[in-house]
């Protein structure tokens, strides 16, 4: 699909993945509607395009009428909306399943030629975590409503605004330790972090090439890391005197029981259940390589990303002695 002048509606366009995607689409000449509940959050995106090229519109995937208005006349639709913890009416079922179905049905009714739906690596009808089960349910509902939809399942996404490496790096500023959880016989959870730029490139490719749609793509980086190794990476790149310590999985459940009650919990029982299964590529589905994208390694990009978390150093300025 030639994007120049095309209208593309992006749900979740103000997030850590949505912002670079909106910029990438605008850079290819698309007219981007950023569908958000609070349009004020989308205004900073406007400079990423020409005057009038990026337009915030009010919409919530839990309100079908607003979704229909947001996709009316759109050539393509992208749904990036997802939550890691439930809050009030924003349940996993409402967002990952019914909300995804609402977007897919509206896109089909509007006559959009393409739909890219972001699910998650580990989506599983029989998963231990409700997050995983509702992600799988959402995929099924999306395929039913929009059979040619392209579904992507990224592993943990890292980048300048991620809530993974940045979260742990922020902890080193006030904590002398970085804990990791150990499951016993199966060790600490394993992840295959994927760079946000690669995820964006994959979505752009799927929008551009009709022949690549209608399938599920798993997106992961070139390396697999245990939770322990991730903490060691963070400690090394922040250059802070922190110790990486092992905690039993029972400690994770205990923390989740307490912290899960907070308005913005750091960890919940459902997230603990999610960590019982490794977050790595299955190897049975197409991935970045099938889209012509060479994934970038964590070690190549993390030093620059985490530099802002390093301690400040005194600089000695040497001057030549005056004569």
Please say if the pLDDT value at position 204 is more than 70: yes
Name the region of 195 (left: φ>0; alpha: ψ -120 to 50; beta: rest): beta
To which H or E segment does residue 256 belong? helix 249-259
Please say if the pLDDT value at position 321 is more than 70: no
Task: Report pLDDT digits (tens) over 230-269.
Answer: 999 999 999 999 999 999 999 999 989 988 887 888 889 9
What counts of helices (H) and strands (E) characterise the chain?
A: 11, 13
In sequence order, which residues have a C-beta less than 8 Å from that of residue 157 and are 6 or more positions away?
Answer: 16, 17, 164, 193, 194, 195, 196, 199
- CA–CA separation, 175 and 297 (whole Å): 27
- Tokens representing 56 are 């915030």
Task: Report pLDDT digits (tens) over 137-169.
Answer: 999 999 999 999 999 999 999 999 999 999 999
- CA–CA separation, 262 and 170 (whole Å): 19
- CA–CA separation, 173 and 311 (whole Å): 8
- CA–CA separation, 274 and 278 (whole Å): 8
User: Per CATH, the architecture of 7-157+192-221+280-293 is what?
Assistant: 3-Layer(aba) Sandwich (3.40)
Q: In whole angstroms, how large is the CA radius of gyration of the chain? A: 21
Return the domain boundaries, the chain: 7-157+192-221+280-293
Other beta carbons less than 10 A from residue 28's beta carbon: 16
Q: At what angle do helices 64-71 and 100-109 cross, to 10 degrees?
A: 40
- CA–CA separation, 67 and 89 (whole Å): 17
- Tokens representing 179 are 């804990």
Mean pLDDT of all residues in 43-70: 96
Please say if the pLDDT value at position 316 is more than 60: no
What average pLDDT does the structure give for the chain? Answer: 94
In sequence order, which residues have a C-beta less than 8 Å from that of residue 60 and are 6 or more positions away?
Answer: 37, 66, 67
């Amino acid at each position: 699909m030639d994007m120049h002048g095309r209208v593309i509606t992006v749900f979740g366009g103000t997030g850590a993945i949505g912002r670079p995607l909106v910029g990438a689409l605008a850079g290819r000449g698309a007219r981007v509607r950023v569908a958000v509940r609070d349009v004020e959050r989308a205004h900073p995106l406007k400079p990423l395009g020409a005057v009038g090229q990026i337009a915030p519109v009010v919409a919530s995937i839990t309100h079908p009428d607003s979704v229909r208005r947001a996709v009316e006349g759109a050539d393509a639709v992208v749904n990036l909306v997802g939550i890691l913890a439930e809050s009030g009416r924003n349940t996993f079922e409402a967002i990952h399943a019914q909300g995804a179905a609402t977007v897919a049905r509206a896109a089909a009714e509007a006559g959009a030629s393409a739909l890219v739906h972001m699910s998650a690596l580990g989506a599983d009808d029989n998963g231990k975590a409700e997050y995983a089960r509702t992600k799988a349910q959402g995929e099924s509902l999306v395929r039913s409503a929009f059979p040619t939809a392209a579904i992507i399942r990224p592993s943990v996404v890292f980048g300048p605004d991620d809530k993974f490496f940045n979260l742990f790096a922020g902890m080193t500023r006030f904590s002398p330790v970085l804990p990791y959880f150990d499951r016993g016989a199966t060790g600490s959870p394993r992840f295959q972090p994927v760079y946000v730029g690669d995820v964006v490139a994959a979505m752009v490719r799927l929008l551009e090439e009709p022949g690549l749609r209608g399938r599920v793509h798993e997106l992961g980086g070139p390396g697999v890391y245990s939770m322990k190794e991730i903490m060691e990476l963070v400690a090394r790149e922040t250059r802070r005197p922190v110790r990486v310590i092992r905690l039993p999985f029972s400690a994770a459940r205990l923390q989740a029981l307490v912290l899960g009650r907070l308005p913005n919990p750091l960890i919940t029982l459902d997230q603990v259940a999610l960590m019982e299964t490794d977050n790595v590529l299955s190897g049975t589905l197409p991935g970045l390589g099938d889209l012509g994208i060479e994934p970038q390694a964590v070690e190549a990009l993390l030093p620059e990303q985490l530099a802002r978390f390093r301690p400040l150093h005194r600089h000695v300025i040497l001057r030549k002695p005056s004569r």
